[in-house]
């Protein structure tokens, strides 16, 4: 038991999140994993047998020191600001040091860079802290990453191959949301603790199902006059919106009132400003397929404050039956544990899956 | 069934229209014994578009068609959820007696006392078997029973000032008619997942129980063939939340004289007479779906129902329950089916009904035991009258549909495919109690042989069936071309149709 | 019979033991372990079982306590009719391959039923002048209810009203009303039962999804329908016609005068009255509504070798695929009734059905004429000059109920339908049905008897 882990901390990705209206959280995320891990192993033999290799400063060293791990070796000096080259070089150094696992902060882009560099020689595991995290190498929450690492160190979980997915940037610039596979990587795999890669199955009836969800939503919209409807990101919500008769951006959060567009691509502050303290709002979201995140992935604009303002009872979650079939469990990861608990307080979420049809889906 | 292998381009049997020759007739009608009345010319049609054939043509046509059809009388028919048991022949004879078949629904009650007594007797028997306070024989199929029951629940909530209760919980294993009925009754259906043992996920039920709950639709045993282990708790949760429990009684064959659904807390349930009580399925109907209801919903039952008052004249009469939701069919339900079901229950009595259930369950478990090594059963526990296995034998790419088609070559009707939706490549097998052990063994042997073929000679499955009048049919072509009437009927210009 | 405590079996002792062993349980009772113990194996208070011979005796006895209309002068119709049933019909219905089969989900084993249904659809389309027919609904009343649901769906959310002629069968109206309890829609029926179809138009507006007329109507009258469809369509609504399939052998099909959906009860086509059921619901419409058609539809296709064959098609409309979004919840329907109708129509054929309709027309007109000669009895008093087909209304000097009792007791005649049952205030009126099976002698006897009753 025990082993050597390479840690690659925050890089420039956090800036992207900031631009979308979130606070820089990636640094916190590393700590949110490392602290519980420390607690899990403290007093055990593996605490002594665990060696870390990492990069300087924000790219790993700081977080490990704050968590007071002992055996830390800095094998890469990060440039400032960090670049893709930093990541690649760091991973090279980790491999030379003979690590058993590479732990990293970031999103799909980082995962892809690291996977290329490791070429499936060692498993990699992501602490979720990017904007897009569709790949199957991310833990569901930072806390759960700690559990996976612990289980890995104990030898309870094996490395398995997982899909790497990423947004097709080219087509995204043309307004299309296409997630495509970009390869695969090894990752410590425990089904309930690691995200399964977003699946791709497109069924003939998908379009039909979305039209029916739209019919249902239309009923709700007409029953709630003068309520702001905020449509969240993703293809499901986009095509549902289209059937409802409003035009919606793919990645942004757009606001509609009585069937008319109010504002596009709102960030956190804009949402709060729009709602003021009077307007009623309903937020329409769809979970990320397979992973099941409703909040906390790809919609960082929806900060805990925004959710509280809207009200946890005013979130309408939509998904086609086929999407839910590969998404057995839903997750909330707003960064505010109390809010996550409140959102999942029933243990289930009632998801709109068709016209006048809901499904109770467990919340993890 | 024989393979008559004509030239492939030639149809197996020409249609009525293809055989039609102008001027041919099969029947002559009575001579007019009254003077002709002047017909309103403007309203007449030139041609009613029917074919013209002789009687022998018609008889041979339908005889040949019958030989291209497979019924329970032809062989083993383990079509899950449909209870394809033997239909006793005496019941056919009795239902055809003029005293039953030839009575008019609007005749004076005094002239149909025998019919009313049978209906009353059946109402009483269903109450006794189901543990209900009242019964109505109006619904003419299971699905109509579902709709009726939901309308009753709706009406009762409305009467109690609870019209806002608009949600009906429907387990994800439920038959497709359940959510469709919920929608027709104006409810919003909330799908409840199944748990790891194949039961309704009770935590999801709990999470869905709120002040908008109207009720739950429970099939017990459920469509996985499993008895809901926590049915008592589910009923309690739903009742505590102010909802009603509707029972889909399609699977009652497992439970007759074993447990009364009413005593399990079911508030209203439909019986499928064409399943549990052996009325023939008719190639897709007619069916019959009477309802039993507990005290809280009894007065909402659809009417008319038959009442008995020994002191009155006549003693049996039609009446409407107090707050009846109304009529569901033009007259009194499918009386012809009621006679058969009544005769069936009369012949068996309570002991026979229990033996039915016991043998149905025994036969299903026996087959499950014999097949599960090759056809894994995802929820593997003792089953009731049927079980659902996965039709994808280890080490082969065969699918449920291939196995089904190949079964035909062995002289068996396939099980139900792809239902319930939560089992991959589902094969839903319901042997019923009327099959002998030899038949079950022969079926098991065939299934095991097919699993072996799936590995060693997969083309035998892919190309199956081989021994039927036609090979696999192109359903996509049918859906694309949508030819739903005979070209020969439409004439060469294809105008109508 | 193997007896094991609470559980008996029809398998032999050795078979039973072997099965129990294969299952891996100790006793058959274990199979029911999931059933709550206190409720398990209730003792049911049902009559003792009967041997086949005793069962036959008991039910024959019950049958004798009914008065069948088969061999009696019968003038009762109102939705269920005594027509002749050719012997071919029951010959075919009794084939076990047909009546013990179920829905033809597996087409390779069901070509017989599928082709018969395809031919049924073809003949129904010819008769009604529609383009697509389903393979059957439960009965005429439920067909109408679902035709209304089709119209509500086809015409959109803003239309939630049905304008229905008061001369539609009152029980059909009741069934449609029950079916609509789950919707916001309502049925508007003008009060005056004698209103003509054109009199419905003032009630039609932008909230109307459909206009429903019956032709010939419940009182037997033919409706003046020319031009009605154009006006109804002009207002954005559909025209639903409830028809009598026998009349269609002779008269204009509803398709010819613009109907969008045609429904009918198929009992006259080879089905005995069966005390009201099983019957057959006929349901046909235009091709543009094919995706809204309820129930099963059979389509033509080919097998892998190019041989013609038939399958259930457009299943995505149906409940087992669409579930909550299905056009209807209907599953089991009236396949055997449709088979009976197909054999009946094939046997009667083009000239035969026309002749049956002519006989009904002539005999009912003869009866009406003879009855109208009875002093104090009026025929179609509220519909002077209107054409009728096989039914008409007579007005008597005393309650129809009493008259029927006398007709039965003193003359063994089954009289007409007491209109007071559905139309309060019309207690002295009865609806008489005359078909090809009513002989001139029967009619003359009825006239004679009526004359005696009212004098
Ligand atoms: C479980 C279940 N529920 C309901 C039904 C519907 O019954 P019916 O076909 O009589 O309408 C069926 C019929 O197949 C069924 O299997």
Task: Read off the pLDDT of residues B128-184 as tens digits, 9 standing for 90 and up.
Answer: 999 999 999 999 999 999 999 999 999 999 999 999 999 999 999 999 999 999 999
Give the separation between CA C291 and CA C306, rounded to whole angstroms: 27
**Interface size, chain B vs chain C, as Cβ–Cβ contacts under 8 Å:** 709
Q: Which tens digit of pLDDT belongs to each residue from A304-330?
A: 999 999 999 999 999 988 788 778 899
Encoded tokens for A117 = 């560099």
Q: Are residues C103 and C220 in the same domain?
A: yes
- Nearest CB to B189 within list A346, A357, A361: A357
pLDDT of residue A21: 40
- Planar angle of CA B243, B247, B252, nearest 5 degrees: 160
Q: Are residues C194 and C339 in the same domain?
A: yes
Q: What CATH number corresponds to the domain at position B398?
A: 3.90.1150.10
Mean per-residue pLDDT, A3-18: 61
pLDDT of residue A205: 58
Give the separation between CA B202 and CA B240, rounded to whole angstroms: 14
Instruction: Let me know if residue C421 belongs to a domain.
Output: yes
How far apart, in Å, do the first and last CA atoms of chain A sit? 29
Q: In a 10 Å sphere around its CB, with 0-12 CB exposed, 13-18 middle and 19+ buried, how is residue A225 labelled? A: exposed
Q: Of the candidates B364, B451, B370, B373, which has an alpha carbon nearest to the alpha carbon of residue B406? A: B451
Looking only at the bridges linking them, the beta strands covering B244-249 and A254-257 are unpaired
Q: Classify residue B142 by its DSSP letter.
A: H
Q: Are residues B201 and B337 in the same domain?
A: yes
| Residue B360 at interface with chain A, using a CB cutoff of 8 Å | no
Q: Which residues of B touch A353 (CB under 8 A)?
A: 191
Q: Of the candidates B94, B97, B335, which has an alpha carbon nearest to the alpha carbon of residue C55? A: B94
Domain boundary among C344, C374, C407: C344
Q: Are residues B155 and B295 in the same domain?
A: yes
Q: Are residues C205 and C289 in the same domain?
A: yes
Between these two residues, A8 and B108, which has the higher pLDDT value? B108
Give the separation between CA A167 and CA A171, rounded to whole angstroms: 8
The domain containing residue C196 runs over which residues? 87-344
Mean per-residue pLDDT, A158-164: 73
**Interface size, chain A vs chain C, as Cβ–Cβ contacts under 8 Å:** 11
Between these two residues, A255 and A162, which has the higher pLDDT value? A255
Q: Which tens digit of pLDDT belongs to each residue from C124-183?
A: 999 999 999 999 999 999 999 999 999 999 998 789 999 999 999 999 999 999 999 999
Closest residue in C to B49 (Cα–Cα)? C126
Encoded tokens for A161 = 């191959």
Dihedral of CA C185/C190/C194/C198: which sign?
negative
Instruction: Let me know if residue B333 belongs to a domain.
Output: yes
Looking only at the bridges linking them, the beta strands covering C238-243 and C261-265 are parallel
CB-defined site of ligand 1, < 6 Å? B 81-82, 141-143, 175, 177, 219, 223, 248, 250, 272, 287, 289; C 331-332
- How far apart are the CA of C450 and the centre of ligand 1, in A? 49
- Nearest CB to B496 within list C126, C302, C361: C126
- Nearest CB to A350 within list B182, B203, B208: B208
Q: Which tens digit of pLDDT belongs to each residue from B258-305?
A: 999 999 999 999 999 999 999 999 999 999 999 999 999 999 999 999
**Per-domain residue ranges for chain A?**
14-188, 206-362
Paired residues of C284 in beta bridges: C133, C262
Q: Which tens digit of pLDDT belongs to each residue from A169-214?
A: 666 666 555 666 677 788 886 544 443 333 322 233 567 788 889 9
Q: What CATH number corresponds to the domain at position C193?
A: 3.40.640.10
C-alpha C131, offset from chain centre: 20
Q: Of the candidates A196, A239, A206, which has an alpha carbon nearest to the alpha carbon of residue A326? A: A196
Instruction: Let me know if residue C294 belongs to a domain.
Output: yes
Give the separation between CA B316 and CA B307, rounded to whole angstroms: 6
Closest residue in B to C359 (Cα–Cα)? B32
| Residue A207 at interface with chain C, using a CB cutoff of 8 Å | no
Q: Which atom of ligand 1 is nearest to the CA of B143?
A: 11
Neighbours of chain A (3+ CB pairs under 8 A): B, C
Interface residue of A204, A219, A354 to substitute, partner C, most C CBs within 10 Å? A354
Q: Are residues B132 and B241 in the same domain?
A: yes
CB B108 within 8 A of CB C400: no
Instruction: Let me know if residue B32 belongs to a domain.
Output: no
- Nearest CB to B207 within list A355, A357, A360: A360
Closest residue in C to B436 (Cα–Cα)? C11
pLDDT of residue A191: 47
Instruction: Let me know if residue C7 belongs to a domain.
Output: no
Examine the pLDDT at A150 and tell me if it is beyond 50.
yes
pLDDT of residue A177: 59
User: CB B471 to CB C80 under 8 A?
Assistant: no
Give the separation between CA B185 and CA C426, rounded to whole angstroms: 34
- How far apart are the CA of A95 and the centre of ligand 1, in A? 62
Closest residue in A to C156 (Cα–Cα)? A215
Q: Which residues of A touch C316 (CB under 8 A)?
A: 205
Instruction: Let me know if residue C162 belongs to a domain.
Output: yes
Q: Are residues C356 and C306 in the same domain?
A: no
- How far apart are the CA of B176 and the centre of ligand 1, in A? 8
- How far apart are the CA of C195 and the centre of ligand 1, in A? 42
Give the separation between CA B213 and CA C154, rounded to whole angstroms: 30
Examine the pLDDT at A107 and tell me if it is beyond 50.
yes
Average pLDDT value over all residues in chain A: 81
| Number of residues in chain C | 455
Q: Which residues of B touch A348 (CB under 8 A)?
A: 203-204, 207-208
Closest residue in A to B207 (Cα–Cα)? A346
How far apart, in Å, do the first and last CA atoms of chain B sit? 32
Q: Which atom of ligand 1 is nearest to the CA of B272?
A: 10
H-type alpha helices, A224-252:
235-244
Q: pLDDT-derived band of residue B335, with 50, 70 and 90 as boundaries? A: very high
Q: Are residues C98 and C200 in the same domain?
A: yes
CA distances from C92 to A82, B274, B282 (A): 84, 20, 12
Domain boundary among C328, C344, C360: C344
pLDDT of residue B5: 47
Mean per-residue pLDDT, A6-19: 56
The domain containing residue B176 runs over which residues? 90-347
Give the separation between CA B124 and CA C45, rounded to whole angstroms: 10
pLDDT of residue B8: 55
Q: Are residues C337 and C384 in the same domain?
A: no
3-state secondary structure of B372: coil
- How far apart are the CA of B278 and the centre of ligand 1, in A? 14
pLDDT of residue C193: 83
Domain boundary among B347, B367, B388: B347
pLDDT of residue A192: 43
Q: Are residues B190 and B338 in the same domain?
A: yes
CB A148 within 8 A of CB A140: no
Instruction: Let me know if residue C409 belongs to a domain.
Output: yes
- Nearest CB to B191 within list A346, A359, A362: A359
Q: Which residues of C touch A212 (CB under 8 A)?
A: 325
Q: Are residues B144 and B251 in the same domain?
A: yes
Average pLDDT value over all residues in chain B: 94
pLDDT of residue A170: 67
Q: Are residues C166 and C253 in the same domain?
A: yes
Identify which of B83, B143, B426 to mutate to test ligand 1's pocket (most ligand atoms within 8 A of the CB): B143
Where chain C has pLDDT below 50, the residues are none
| Residue A216 at interface with chain C, using a CB cutoff of 8 Å | no
Instruction: Let me know if residue C415 belongs to a domain.
Output: yes
User: CB B98 to CB C98 under 8 A?
Assistant: no
Paired residues of A281 in beta bridges: A228
Instruction: Let me know if residue B30 belongs to a domain.
Output: no
Q: Are residues C327 and C441 in the same domain?
A: no
User: CB C335 to CB B55 under 8 A?
Assistant: no
- In B102-187 the beta strands, taken as DSSP E runs, fall at 134-136, 167-171
**Interface size, chain A vs chain B, as Cβ–Cβ contacts under 8 Å:** 48
Give the separation between CA B379 and CA B376, rounded to whole angstroms: 9
- Nearest CB to B188 within list A347, A358, A362: A358
CA-proximal residue: ligand 1, atom 16 (nearest) = B81
CB C443 within 8 A of CB C372: no
- How far apart are the CA of B174 and the centre of ligand 1, in A? 10
Q: Which residues of B touch A359 (CB under 8 A)?
A: 172, 190-193
pLDDT of residue A2: 55
pTM for this predicted structure: 0.86
- How far apart are the CA of B145 and the centre of ligand 1, in A? 9
Q: What CATH number corresponds to the domain at position B178?
A: 3.40.640.10
Domain boundary among C344, C377, C405: C344
Q: Which residues of B touch A357 (CB under 8 A)?
A: 179, 183, 188-191
Q: Are residues C368 and C290 in the same domain?
A: no
Give the separation between CA B13 and CA C307, rounded to whole angstroms: 11
Helix axes C335-372, C111-128, angle to 10 degrees: 30
Q: Are residues C194 and C308 in the same domain?
A: yes
Q: Of the candidates B388, B465, B417, B413, which has an alpha carbon nearest to the alpha carbon of residue B77? A: B413
Give the separation between CA A79 and CA B328, rounded to whole angstroms: 79
State the nearest Cα–Cα gap between A357 and chain B, in angstroms. Answer: 5
Overall number of domains in chain B: 2
Q: Are residues B411 and B283 in the same domain?
A: no
Closest residue in C to B8 (Cα–Cα)? C307
CB C105 within 8 A of CB B283: no
Give the separation between CA C39 and CA C109, rounded to whole angstroms: 42
CB A142 within 8 A of CB A29: yes
All residues at 6 or more sequence positions from C404 whose CB lies less than 8 Å from its CB, including other chains:
B108, C414, C415, C416, C418, C430
Identify which of B77, B250, B275 to mutate to test ligand 1's pocket (most ligand atoms within 8 A of the CB): B250
Q: Which tens digit of pLDDT belongs to each residue from B219-268?
A: 999 999 999 999 999 999 999 999 999 999 999 999 999 999 999 999 99
State the nearest Cα–Cα gap between B206 and chain C, in angstroms. Answer: 21
pLDDT of residue C46: 97
Give the separation between CA A102 and CA A123, rounded to whole angstroms: 6
């Amino acid at each position: 038991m025990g082993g050597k882990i390479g840690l690659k901390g925050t890089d420039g990705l956090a800036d992207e999140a900031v631009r979308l209206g979130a606070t820089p959280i990636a640094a916190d995320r590393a700590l949110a994993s490392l602290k519980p891990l420390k607690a899990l192993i403290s007093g055990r033999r593996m605490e002594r047998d665990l060696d870390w290799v990492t990069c300087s400063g924000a790219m790993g060293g700081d977080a490990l020191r704050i968590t007071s791990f002992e055996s830390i070796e800095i094998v890469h000096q990060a440039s400032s600001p960090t670049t893709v080259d930093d990541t690649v070089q760091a991973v090279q150094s980790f491999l030379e040091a003979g690590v058993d696992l590479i732990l990293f902060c970031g999103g799909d882009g980082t995962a892809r860079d690291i996977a290329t560099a490791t070429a499936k020689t060692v498993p990699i595991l992501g602490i979720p802290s990017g904007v897009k995290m569709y790949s199957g190498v991310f833990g569901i929450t930072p806390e759960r990453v700690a559990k996976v690492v612990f289980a890995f160190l104990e030898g309870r979980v094996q490395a398995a191959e997982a899909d790497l997915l990423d947004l097709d940037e080219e087509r995204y610039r043309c307004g299309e949301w296409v997630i495509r596979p970009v390869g695969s990587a090894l990752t410590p795999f425990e089904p309930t603790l690691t995200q399964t890669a977003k699946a791709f199955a497109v069924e003939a009836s998908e379009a039909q199902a979305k039209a029916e969800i739209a019919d249902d939503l239309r009923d709700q919209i007409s029953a709630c006059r003068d309520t702001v409807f905020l449509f969240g990101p993703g293809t499901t919500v986009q095509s549902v919106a289209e059937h409802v008769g409003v035009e919606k951006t793919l990645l942004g959060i757009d606001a509609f009132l009585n069937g008319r567009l109010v504002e596009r691509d709102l960030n956190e502050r804009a949402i709060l400003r729009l709602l003021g303290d009077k307007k009623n709002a309903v937020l329409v979201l769809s979970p990320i397929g397979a992973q099941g995140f409703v909040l906390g992935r790809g919609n960082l604009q929806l900060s805990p404050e925004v959710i509280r303002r809207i009200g946890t009872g005013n979130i309408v979650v939509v998904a086609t039956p086929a999407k839910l079939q590969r998404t057995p469990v839903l997750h909330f990861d707003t960064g505010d544990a109390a809010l996550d608990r409140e959102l999942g307080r029933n243990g289930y979420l009632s998801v709109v899956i068709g016209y006048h049809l809901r499904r109770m889906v467990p919340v993890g | 069934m024989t393979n008559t292998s004509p030239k492939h381009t030639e149809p197996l049997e020409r249609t009525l229209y293809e055989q039609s020759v102008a001027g041919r007739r099969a029947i002559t009608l009575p001579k007019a014994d009254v003077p002709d009345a002047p017909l309103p010319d403007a309203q007449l049609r030139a041609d009613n578009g029917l074919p013209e054939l002789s009687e022998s043509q018609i008889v041979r046509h339908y005889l040949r068609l019958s030989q291209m059809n497979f019924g329970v009388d032809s062989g083993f028919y383990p079509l899950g959820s449909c209870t394809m048991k033997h239909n006793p022949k005496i019941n056919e004879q009795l239902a055809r007696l003029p005293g039953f078949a030839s009575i008019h629904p609007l005749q004076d009650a005094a002239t149909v006392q025998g019919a009313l007594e049978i209906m009353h007797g059946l109402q009483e028997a269903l109450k006794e078997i189901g543990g209900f306070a009242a019964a109505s024989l109006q619904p003419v199929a299971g699905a109509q029973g579902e709709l009726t029951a939901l309308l009753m629940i709706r009406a009762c909530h409305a009467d109690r000032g609870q019209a806002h209760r608009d949600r009906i919980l429907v387990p994800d294993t439920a038959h497709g008619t359940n959510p469709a009925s919920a929608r027709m009754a104006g409810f919003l259906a909330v799908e409840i997942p199944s748990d790891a043992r194949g039961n309704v996920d009770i935590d999801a039920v709990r999470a869905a129980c709120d002040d908008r709950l109207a009720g739950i639709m429970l099939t017990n045993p459920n469509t996985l063939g499993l008895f809901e282990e926590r049915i008592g708790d589910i009923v309690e949760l739903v009742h505590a939340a102010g909802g009603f429990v509707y029972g889909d009684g399609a699977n009652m064959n497992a439970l007759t004289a074993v447990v009364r659904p009413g005593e399990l807390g079911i508030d209203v349930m439909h019986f499928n007479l064409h399943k549990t009580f052996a009325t023939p399925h008719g190639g897709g109907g007619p069916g019959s779906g009477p309802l039993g209801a507990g005290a809280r919903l009894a007065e909402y039952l659809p009417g008319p129902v038959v009442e008995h008052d020994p002191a009155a004249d006549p003693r049996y009469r039609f009446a409407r329950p107090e707050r009846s939701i109304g009529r569901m069919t033009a007259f009194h339900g499918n009386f012809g089916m009621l006679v058969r079901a009544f005769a069936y229950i009369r012949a068996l009595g309570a002991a026979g009904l229990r033996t039915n259930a016991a043998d149905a369950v025994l036969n299903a478990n026996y087959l499950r035991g014999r097949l599960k090594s090759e056809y894994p059963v995802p929820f593997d526990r003792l089953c009731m009258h049927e079980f659902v296995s996965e039709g994808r034998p280890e080490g082969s790419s065969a699918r449920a549909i291939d196995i089904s088609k190949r079964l035909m070559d062995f002289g068996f009707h396939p099980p139900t495919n792809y239902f319930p939706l939560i089992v991959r490549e589902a094969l839903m097998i319901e042997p019923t109690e009327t099959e002998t052990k030899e038949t079950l063994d022969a079926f098991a042997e065939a299934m095991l042989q097919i699993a072996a073929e799936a590995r060693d000679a997969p083309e035998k499955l892919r190309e199956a069936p081989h021994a039927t009048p036609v090979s696999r049919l192109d359903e996509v072509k049918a859906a694309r071309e949508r030819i739903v009437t005979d070209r020969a009927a439409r004439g060469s210009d294809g105008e109508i149709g | 019979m193997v007896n094991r405590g609470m559980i008996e079996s029809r398998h032999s002792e050795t078979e039973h033991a072997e099965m129990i062993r294969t299952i891996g349980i100790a006793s058959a009772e274990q199979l029911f372990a999931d059933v709550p113990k206190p409720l398990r194996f209730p003792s049911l208070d049902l009559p003792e079982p009967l041997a086949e011979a005793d069962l036959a005796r008991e039910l024959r006895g019950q049958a004798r306590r009914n008065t069948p209309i088969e061999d009696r002068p019968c003038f009762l119709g109102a939705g269920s009719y005594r027509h002749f049933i050719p012997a071919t019909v029951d010959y075919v219905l009794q084939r076990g391959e047909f009546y013990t089969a179920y829905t033809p989900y597996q087409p390779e084993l069901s070509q017989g039923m599928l082709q018969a249904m395809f031919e049924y659809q073809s003949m129904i389309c010819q008769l009604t002048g529609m383009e697509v027919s389903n393979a059957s609904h439960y009965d005429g009343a439920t067909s109408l209810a679902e035709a209304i649901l089709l119209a509500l769906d086809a015409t959109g959310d803003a239309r939630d009203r049905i304008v229905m002629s008061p001369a539609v069968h009152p029980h059909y109206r009741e069934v449609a009303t029950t079916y609509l309890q789950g919707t916001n829609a309502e049925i508007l029926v003008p009060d005056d039962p004698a209103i003509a179809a054109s009199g419905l138009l003032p009630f039609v507006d932008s909230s109307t999804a459909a206009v429903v007329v019956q032709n010939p109507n419940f009182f037997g009258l033919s409706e003046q329908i020319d031009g009605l469809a154009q006006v109804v369509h002009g207002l954005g609504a559909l025209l639903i016609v409830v028809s009598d399939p026998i009349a269609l052998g002779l008269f204009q099909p509803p398709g010819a005068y613009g109907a969008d959906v045609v429904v009918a009860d198929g009992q006259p086509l080879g089905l005995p009255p069966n005390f009201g059921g099983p019957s057959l619901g006929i349901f046909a419409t235009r091709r543009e509504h094919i995706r809204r058609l309820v129930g099963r539809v059979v389509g033509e296709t080919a097998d892998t070798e190019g041989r013609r064959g038939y399958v259930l098609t457009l299943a995505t409309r149906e409940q087992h695929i669409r579930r909550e979004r299905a056009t209807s919840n209907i599953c089991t329907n009236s396949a055997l009734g449709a088979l009976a109708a197909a054999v009946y129509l094939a046997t009667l054929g083009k000239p035969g059905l026309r002749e049956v309709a002519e006989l009904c027309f002539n005999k009912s007109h003869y009866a009406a004429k003879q009855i109208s000669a009875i002093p104090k009895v009026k025929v179609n008093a509220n519909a002077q000059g209107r054409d009728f087909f096989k039914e008409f209304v007579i007005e008597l000097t005393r309650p129809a109920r009493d008259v029927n009792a006398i007709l039965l007791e003193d003359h063994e005649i089954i009289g007409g339908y007491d209109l007071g049952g559905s139309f309060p205030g019309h207690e002295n009126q009865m609806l008489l049905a005359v078909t090809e099976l009513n002989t001139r002698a029967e009619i003359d006897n009825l006239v004679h008897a009526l004359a005696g009753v009212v004098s």
